[in-house]
Amino acid sequence: MAAQKGKIVCVTGAGGFVGSWLVKHLLSNNYTVHGTVRNPMDEKNGHLKKLEKASENLKLFKADLLDYESLRAAIVGCDGVFHTASPVPPSSVPDPEVELIKPAVDGTLNVLKACCEVDVKKVVYVSSVAAISVIPNRPDRPLDETFWSDQELCRSNNDWYCLSKTKAESEAWEFSKTNGIEFLSVCPTLISGPMLQNTINASSLILIKLLRGFISLGAEGYEELENRSRLIVDVRDLADALILVYEKPEANGRYICTSHEIRSKELVEILKKYYPNYNYPKKFIEPKGKLSATSQKLRELGWSYRPLEETLVDSVESYIEKGILGKN
Ligand SMILES: NC(=O)c1ccc[n+]([C@@H]2O[C@H](COP(=O)([O-])OP(=O)(O)OC[C@H]3O[C@@H](n4cnc5c(N)ncnc54)[C@H](OP(=O)(O)O)[C@@H]3O)[C@@H](O)[C@H]2O)c1
Protein backbone atom coordinates (compact mmCIF):
# COMPACT_ATOMS: atom_id res chain seq x y z
CA MET A 1 0.00 0.00 0.00
CA ALA A 2 1.36 3.46 -0.93
CA ALA A 3 2.23 5.71 2.05
CA GLN A 4 -0.08 8.68 2.67
CA LYS A 5 1.09 12.19 1.82
CA GLY A 6 3.57 13.54 4.38
CA LYS A 7 4.03 10.09 5.86
CA ILE A 8 7.48 9.17 4.51
CA VAL A 9 10.14 10.58 6.79
CA CYS A 10 13.84 10.23 7.43
CA VAL A 11 15.22 9.89 10.96
CA THR A 12 18.97 10.48 11.29
CA GLY A 13 20.66 8.68 14.18
CA ALA A 14 17.86 6.08 14.18
CA GLY A 15 19.77 3.65 16.43
CA GLY A 16 20.40 6.18 19.24
CA PHE A 17 18.38 6.58 22.46
CA VAL A 18 16.09 9.29 21.08
CA GLY A 19 16.20 8.05 17.47
CA SER A 20 15.01 4.56 18.42
CA TRP A 21 11.94 5.79 20.34
CA LEU A 22 11.13 8.27 17.59
CA VAL A 23 11.26 5.50 14.96
CA LYS A 24 9.06 3.29 17.18
CA HIS A 25 6.42 6.02 17.61
CA LEU A 26 6.52 6.96 13.91
CA LEU A 27 5.99 3.33 12.87
CA SER A 28 3.08 2.98 15.25
CA ASN A 29 1.61 6.18 13.77
CA ASN A 30 1.72 4.57 10.29
CA TYR A 31 4.74 6.43 8.95
CA THR A 32 7.25 4.90 6.57
CA VAL A 33 10.70 5.62 7.98
CA HIS A 34 14.12 5.91 6.35
CA GLY A 35 16.46 5.53 9.33
CA THR A 36 20.14 6.42 9.09
CA VAL A 37 22.70 4.47 11.09
CA ARG A 38 26.45 4.33 10.73
CA ASN A 39 26.45 0.58 10.32
CA PRO A 40 23.19 -1.24 9.49
CA MET A 41 24.87 -4.63 10.03
CA ASP A 42 26.08 -3.79 13.56
CA GLU A 43 24.25 -5.73 16.30
CA LYS A 44 23.87 -2.44 18.22
CA ASN A 45 21.14 -1.51 15.68
CA GLY A 46 19.46 -4.94 15.85
CA HIS A 47 16.65 -3.65 18.10
CA LEU A 48 15.33 -1.45 15.26
CA LYS A 49 14.55 -4.45 13.07
CA LYS A 50 12.46 -5.96 15.88
CA LEU A 51 10.15 -2.93 16.23
CA GLU A 52 6.51 -3.48 15.35
CA LYS A 53 5.91 -2.76 11.61
CA ALA A 54 9.67 -2.45 11.00
CA SER A 55 9.73 -5.24 8.45
CA GLU A 56 7.21 -3.40 6.23
CA ASN A 57 7.85 0.27 6.99
CA LEU A 58 11.44 0.80 8.15
CA LYS A 59 14.37 0.97 5.78
CA LEU A 60 17.84 1.46 7.21
CA PHE A 61 20.47 3.49 5.35
CA LYS A 62 24.17 3.55 6.09
CA ALA A 63 25.06 7.22 6.55
CA ASP A 64 27.64 9.38 8.25
CA LEU A 65 26.97 13.02 9.08
CA LEU A 66 30.12 14.07 7.24
CA ASP A 67 29.28 12.08 4.12
CA TYR A 68 26.82 14.23 2.17
CA GLU A 69 25.95 11.62 -0.47
CA SER A 70 25.09 9.02 2.17
CA LEU A 71 22.63 11.42 3.84
CA ARG A 72 21.14 12.48 0.51
CA ALA A 73 20.45 8.83 -0.39
CA ALA A 74 18.43 8.40 2.81
CA ILE A 75 16.52 11.69 2.44
CA VAL A 76 15.50 11.41 -1.21
CA GLY A 77 11.82 10.45 -1.52
CA CYS A 78 10.94 11.70 1.98
CA ASP A 79 8.35 14.34 2.90
CA GLY A 80 10.15 15.42 6.05
CA VAL A 81 13.30 14.82 8.10
CA PHE A 82 13.85 14.41 11.84
CA HIS A 83 17.50 15.16 12.51
CA THR A 84 18.56 13.59 15.81
CA ALA A 85 22.14 12.42 15.01
CA SER A 86 24.89 14.32 16.81
CA PRO A 87 27.75 13.21 19.04
CA VAL A 88 26.74 13.01 22.73
CA PRO A 89 29.86 11.83 24.55
CA PRO A 90 29.56 10.74 28.20
CA SER A 91 32.73 12.65 29.12
CA SER A 92 35.26 15.05 27.58
CA VAL A 93 36.84 14.16 24.24
CA PRO A 94 40.49 14.79 23.22
CA ASP A 95 39.70 16.84 20.09
CA PRO A 96 36.33 18.57 20.50
CA GLU A 97 36.54 20.53 17.21
CA VAL A 98 36.87 17.31 15.21
CA GLU A 99 34.88 14.91 17.37
CA LEU A 100 32.00 17.16 18.41
CA ILE A 101 31.69 20.47 16.65
CA LYS A 102 32.39 19.42 13.07
CA PRO A 103 29.90 16.50 12.96
CA ALA A 104 27.23 18.52 14.80
CA VAL A 105 27.53 21.67 12.65
CA ASP A 106 28.62 20.33 9.24
CA GLY A 107 26.38 17.28 9.68
CA THR A 108 23.31 19.47 10.29
CA LEU A 109 24.17 21.66 7.30
CA ASN A 110 24.64 18.52 5.16
CA VAL A 111 21.17 17.34 6.15
CA LEU A 112 19.67 20.73 5.25
CA LYS A 113 21.56 20.95 1.95
CA ALA A 114 20.30 17.49 0.98
CA CYS A 115 16.75 18.59 1.89
CA CYS A 116 17.12 21.60 -0.42
CA GLU A 117 18.49 19.49 -3.24
CA VAL A 118 15.76 16.85 -3.14
CA ASP A 119 12.99 19.31 -2.25
CA VAL A 120 12.14 18.21 1.31
CA LYS A 121 10.48 21.19 2.92
CA LYS A 122 10.08 20.30 6.60
CA VAL A 123 12.86 19.51 9.04
CA VAL A 124 12.52 18.90 12.78
CA TYR A 125 15.86 19.23 14.54
CA VAL A 126 16.69 17.84 17.98
CA SER A 127 18.66 20.67 19.53
CA SER A 128 19.14 20.91 23.30
CA VAL A 129 18.64 23.20 26.26
CA ALA A 130 22.45 23.34 25.96
CA ALA A 131 21.80 25.81 23.12
CA ILE A 132 19.77 28.00 25.51
CA SER A 133 21.20 27.89 29.00
CA VAL A 134 24.87 28.95 28.80
CA ILE A 135 24.37 32.65 29.41
CA PRO A 136 26.33 35.07 31.60
CA ASN A 137 23.50 36.09 33.95
CA ARG A 138 20.54 33.79 34.37
CA PRO A 139 17.28 35.71 34.91
CA ASP A 140 15.01 35.10 37.92
CA ARG A 141 12.34 33.63 35.67
CA PRO A 142 12.50 30.25 33.86
CA LEU A 143 14.42 30.28 30.57
CA ASP A 144 12.29 30.27 27.42
CA GLU A 145 12.97 29.92 23.70
CA THR A 146 14.19 33.52 23.30
CA PHE A 147 17.47 32.68 25.07
CA TRP A 148 20.57 31.54 23.18
CA SER A 149 23.74 30.16 24.73
CA ASP A 150 26.71 32.49 24.41
CA GLN A 151 29.22 30.73 22.13
CA GLU A 152 32.21 32.60 23.58
CA LEU A 153 31.16 31.63 27.10
CA CYS A 154 30.83 27.97 25.99
CA ARG A 155 34.37 28.16 24.60
CA SER A 156 35.87 29.78 27.68
CA ASN A 157 34.11 27.18 29.92
CA ASN A 158 35.39 24.34 27.65
CA ASP A 159 31.72 23.48 27.28
CA TRP A 160 32.21 21.83 23.89
CA TYR A 161 28.97 19.87 23.75
CA CYS A 162 26.99 23.06 24.47
CA LEU A 163 28.99 24.87 21.81
CA SER A 164 28.35 22.08 19.27
CA LYS A 165 24.58 22.26 19.83
CA THR A 166 24.43 26.08 19.88
CA LYS A 167 26.49 26.50 16.73
CA ALA A 168 24.63 23.72 14.90
CA GLU A 169 21.22 25.14 15.75
CA SER A 170 22.05 28.76 14.98
CA GLU A 171 23.69 27.93 11.63
CA ALA A 172 20.74 25.69 10.78
CA TRP A 173 18.29 28.55 11.39
CA GLU A 174 20.31 30.84 9.13
CA PHE A 175 20.56 28.23 6.36
CA SER A 176 16.85 27.38 6.55
CA LYS A 177 15.73 31.00 6.39
CA THR A 178 17.92 31.68 3.35
CA ASN A 179 16.87 28.51 1.55
CA GLY A 180 13.13 28.36 2.30
CA ILE A 181 13.11 25.24 4.49
CA GLU A 182 10.43 24.96 7.17
CA PHE A 183 12.74 24.32 10.11
CA LEU A 184 11.60 23.56 13.66
CA SER A 185 13.84 22.89 16.60
CA VAL A 186 13.03 21.06 19.81
CA CYS A 187 15.35 21.71 22.76
CA PRO A 188 15.08 18.92 25.34
CA THR A 189 16.57 19.01 28.81
CA LEU A 190 18.08 15.83 30.33
CA ILE A 191 16.36 12.90 28.63
CA SER A 192 15.52 9.86 30.71
CA GLY A 193 13.34 6.79 30.31
CA PRO A 194 13.67 3.17 29.20
CA MET A 195 16.30 2.31 26.61
CA LEU A 196 15.34 0.40 23.47
CA GLN A 197 18.97 0.09 22.39
CA ASN A 198 21.43 -2.14 24.26
CA THR A 199 24.38 0.27 24.40
CA ILE A 200 24.24 2.82 27.22
CA ASN A 201 23.86 6.42 26.01
CA ALA A 202 25.30 9.38 27.92
CA SER A 203 22.09 10.62 29.60
CA SER A 204 20.99 7.14 30.72
CA LEU A 205 24.44 6.75 32.27
CA ILE A 206 23.70 9.68 34.61
CA LEU A 207 20.79 7.80 36.19
CA ILE A 208 22.67 4.49 36.19
CA LYS A 209 25.56 6.10 38.10
CA LEU A 210 23.11 7.50 40.63
CA LEU A 211 21.82 3.98 41.28
CA ARG A 212 25.32 2.66 41.64
CA GLY A 213 26.53 5.40 43.98
CA PHE A 214 28.97 6.93 41.49
CA ILE A 215 29.38 10.67 41.16
CA SER A 216 28.96 12.30 37.78
CA LEU A 217 32.67 12.11 36.99
CA GLY A 218 32.39 8.35 37.00
CA ALA A 219 34.82 7.59 39.82
CA GLU A 220 33.73 4.54 41.76
CA GLY A 221 33.43 4.68 45.52
CA TYR A 222 32.47 8.33 45.96
CA GLU A 223 29.56 8.82 48.26
CA GLU A 224 28.92 12.52 47.75
CA LEU A 225 26.85 14.00 44.99
CA GLU A 226 26.13 17.58 44.05
CA ASN A 227 22.50 18.24 44.89
CA ARG A 228 21.92 19.96 41.59
CA SER A 229 18.56 20.74 40.13
CA ARG A 230 17.84 18.53 37.14
CA LEU A 231 15.35 19.24 34.40
CA ILE A 232 14.09 15.93 33.08
CA VAL A 233 11.97 14.83 30.15
CA ASP A 234 10.92 11.28 29.24
CA VAL A 235 12.30 10.01 25.93
CA ARG A 236 8.81 8.78 24.95
CA ASP A 237 7.26 12.19 25.62
CA LEU A 238 10.05 13.79 23.59
CA ALA A 239 9.30 11.44 20.67
CA ASP A 240 5.64 12.56 20.86
CA ALA A 241 6.73 16.22 20.95
CA LEU A 242 8.84 15.78 17.81
CA ILE A 243 5.92 14.22 15.93
CA LEU A 244 3.55 16.90 17.24
CA VAL A 245 5.67 19.78 15.93
CA TYR A 246 6.08 17.94 12.61
CA GLU A 247 2.34 17.41 12.21
CA LYS A 248 0.91 20.69 13.51
CA PRO A 249 0.80 23.25 10.69
CA GLU A 250 0.86 26.11 13.23
CA ALA A 251 4.12 24.92 14.84
CA ASN A 252 6.95 27.39 14.41
CA GLY A 253 10.37 28.27 15.79
CA ARG A 254 11.98 26.65 18.80
CA TYR A 255 10.35 24.52 21.50
CA ILE A 256 11.86 23.78 24.89
CA CYS A 257 10.91 20.22 25.89
CA THR A 258 11.06 19.62 29.63
CA SER A 259 8.70 18.13 32.21
CA HIS A 260 10.09 17.92 35.74
CA GLU A 261 12.47 20.01 37.82
CA ILE A 262 13.98 18.06 40.70
CA ARG A 263 17.08 18.06 42.91
CA SER A 264 19.37 14.99 42.86
CA LYS A 265 18.54 14.30 46.52
CA GLU A 266 14.78 14.17 45.84
CA LEU A 267 15.43 11.99 42.81
CA VAL A 268 17.27 9.53 45.04
CA GLU A 269 14.39 9.61 47.56
CA ILE A 270 11.90 8.63 44.85
CA LEU A 271 14.13 5.84 43.55
CA LYS A 272 14.67 4.52 47.09
CA LYS A 273 10.90 4.18 47.54
CA TYR A 274 10.77 1.63 44.72
CA TYR A 275 14.31 0.21 44.88
CA PRO A 276 15.61 0.56 48.45
CA ASN A 277 18.77 -1.51 48.06
CA TYR A 278 20.90 0.10 45.36
CA ASN A 279 24.14 1.81 46.31
CA TYR A 280 22.87 5.40 46.37
CA PRO A 281 25.07 8.43 47.14
CA LYS A 282 24.99 9.11 50.87
CA LYS A 283 25.87 12.79 51.08
CA PHE A 284 24.81 15.74 49.01
CA ILE A 285 26.77 18.94 48.48
CA GLU A 286 24.73 22.09 47.95
CA PRO A 287 25.46 23.64 44.54
CA LYS A 288 25.46 27.29 43.46
CA GLY A 289 22.59 28.44 41.25
CA LYS A 290 19.94 26.42 39.51
CA LEU A 291 18.52 25.93 36.06
CA SER A 292 14.87 26.53 35.35
CA ALA A 293 13.15 26.42 31.96
CA THR A 294 9.60 26.35 30.67
CA SER A 295 7.84 24.23 28.03
CA GLN A 296 4.76 26.43 28.03
CA LYS A 297 5.00 26.98 24.25
CA LEU A 298 5.04 23.21 23.59
CA ARG A 299 2.16 22.61 26.01
CA GLU A 300 0.12 25.27 24.19
CA LEU A 301 0.66 23.25 21.01
CA GLY A 302 -1.01 20.27 22.74
CA TRP A 303 1.92 18.42 24.32
CA SER A 304 1.53 16.62 27.63
CA TYR A 305 3.86 14.39 29.61
CA ARG A 306 3.86 11.49 32.04
CA PRO A 307 4.63 11.59 35.78
CA LEU A 308 8.31 11.44 36.78
CA GLU A 309 7.86 8.28 38.86
CA GLU A 310 6.74 6.40 35.74
CA THR A 311 9.86 7.57 33.86
CA LEU A 312 12.16 6.52 36.69
CA VAL A 313 10.60 3.12 37.31
CA ASP A 314 10.47 2.28 33.58
CA SER A 315 14.11 3.36 33.23
CA VAL A 316 15.29 1.14 36.08
CA GLU A 317 13.25 -1.80 34.80
CA SER A 318 14.89 -1.45 31.38
CA TYR A 319 18.39 -1.40 32.95
CA ILE A 320 17.51 -4.56 34.91
CA GLU A 321 16.07 -6.26 31.84
CA LYS A 322 19.25 -5.49 29.86
CA GLY A 323 21.47 -6.78 32.68
CA ILE A 324 22.98 -3.32 33.33
CA LEU A 325 21.71 -3.38 36.92
CA GLY A 326 21.12 -6.35 39.16
CA LYS A 327 17.62 -6.95 40.57
CA ASN A 328 17.01 -4.88 43.71
N1 LIG B 1 20.16 12.53 25.91
C2 LIG B 1 19.98 13.77 26.35
O3 LIG B 1 19.87 14.04 27.56
C4 LIG B 1 19.87 14.89 25.34
C5 LIG B 1 19.43 16.16 25.80
C6 LIG B 1 19.26 17.18 24.89
C7 LIG B 1 19.49 16.95 23.54
N8 LIG B 1 19.90 15.74 23.12
C9 LIG B 1 20.12 15.54 21.66
O10 LIG B 1 19.36 14.43 21.25
C11 LIG B 1 19.98 13.84 20.10
C12 LIG B 1 20.06 12.34 20.30
O13 LIG B 1 20.87 12.07 21.45
P14 LIG B 1 20.77 10.70 22.25
O15 LIG B 1 20.59 11.05 23.67
O16 LIG B 1 19.81 9.82 21.58
O17 LIG B 1 22.26 10.15 22.11
P18 LIG B 1 22.80 8.83 21.42
O19 LIG B 1 22.05 7.64 21.86
O20 LIG B 1 24.28 8.86 21.64
O21 LIG B 1 22.49 9.08 19.89
C22 LIG B 1 23.29 9.89 19.07
C23 LIG B 1 23.13 9.41 17.65
O24 LIG B 1 23.95 10.22 16.79
C25 LIG B 1 24.66 9.36 15.92
N26 LIG B 1 25.90 9.97 15.48
C27 LIG B 1 26.86 10.56 16.22
N28 LIG B 1 27.86 10.99 15.42
C29 LIG B 1 27.51 10.65 14.15
C30 LIG B 1 28.12 10.79 12.89
N31 LIG B 1 29.31 11.38 12.73
N32 LIG B 1 27.47 10.32 11.79
C33 LIG B 1 26.28 9.71 11.91
N34 LIG B 1 25.64 9.54 13.08
C35 LIG B 1 26.26 10.01 14.18
C36 LIG B 1 24.94 8.12 16.75
O37 LIG B 1 25.24 7.04 15.90
P38 LIG B 1 26.09 5.79 16.41
O39 LIG B 1 25.09 4.93 17.13
O40 LIG B 1 26.61 5.19 15.16
O41 LIG B 1 27.15 6.32 17.32
C42 LIG B 1 23.61 7.96 17.48
O43 LIG B 1 22.66 7.30 16.66
C44 LIG B 1 21.33 14.54 19.95
O45 LIG B 1 21.21 15.50 18.93
C46 LIG B 1 21.54 15.20 21.30
O47 LIG B 1 22.36 16.35 21.20
C48 LIG B 1 20.10 14.69 23.98
Rg (CA), the chain: 19
Average pLDDT over all residues of the chain = 94
Residue of 10, 17, 41, 236 best suited for mutating to test ligand 1, as the one with most atoms within 8 Å of CB: 17
**How many CB atoms lie under 10 A from the CB of residue 325?**
18
- Does the beta carbon of 35 lie inside 6 Å of ligand 1? no
What type of residue sits at position 186?
A: V
pLDDT digits (tens, 9 = 90+) for 89-142: 998 899 999 999 999 999 999 999 999 999 998 999 999 999 999 999 989 999
Rounded CA separation 235/18 (Å): 6
- At residue 246, does pLDDT exceed 60? yes
DSSP H or E run through 35? strand 32-37
Confidence category of residue 199, pLDDT binned at 50, 70, 90: very high
**How many CB atoms lie under 10 A from the CB of residue 111?**
28
Angle between the N-to-C axes of helices 17-28 and 235-247, in degrees from 0 to 180, rounded to the nearest 10 = 60
CA angle, residues 11, 179, 255, in degrees to nearest 5 = 50
pTM: 0.96
What type of residue sits at position 115?
A: C
pLDDT digits (tens, 9 = 90+) for 284-323: 888 877 889 999 999 999 999 999 999 999 999 999 999 9
- At residue 216, does pLDDT exceed 80? no
Rounded CA separation 260/316 (Å): 18
Mind telling me the catalytic residues? Answer: 165
What type of residue sits at position 97?
A: E
Mean pLDDT for the stretch of residues 264-270: 93
- Does the beta carbon of 190 lie inside 6 Å of ligand 1? yes
Mean pLDDT for the stretch of residues 141-161: 97
CB-based contacts of 33: which residues, under 8 Å, 6+ apart?
8, 9, 10, 11, 14, 23, 26, 27, 57, 58, 59
Q: Output the CA 15–ligand 1 centroid distance in Å.
A: 9
Give whole-number Cα distances, 196 to 10, 163, 177, 307, 321, in Å: 19, 28, 35, 20, 11
Q: Whose CA is closest to atom 18 on ligand 1?
A: 16
Confidence category of residue 212, pLDDT binned at 50, 70, 90: confident
Rounded CA separation 189/208 (Å): 17
Domains of the chain: 8-193+232-259+292-305 (3.40.50.720)
Report which DSSP code applies to 66.
T
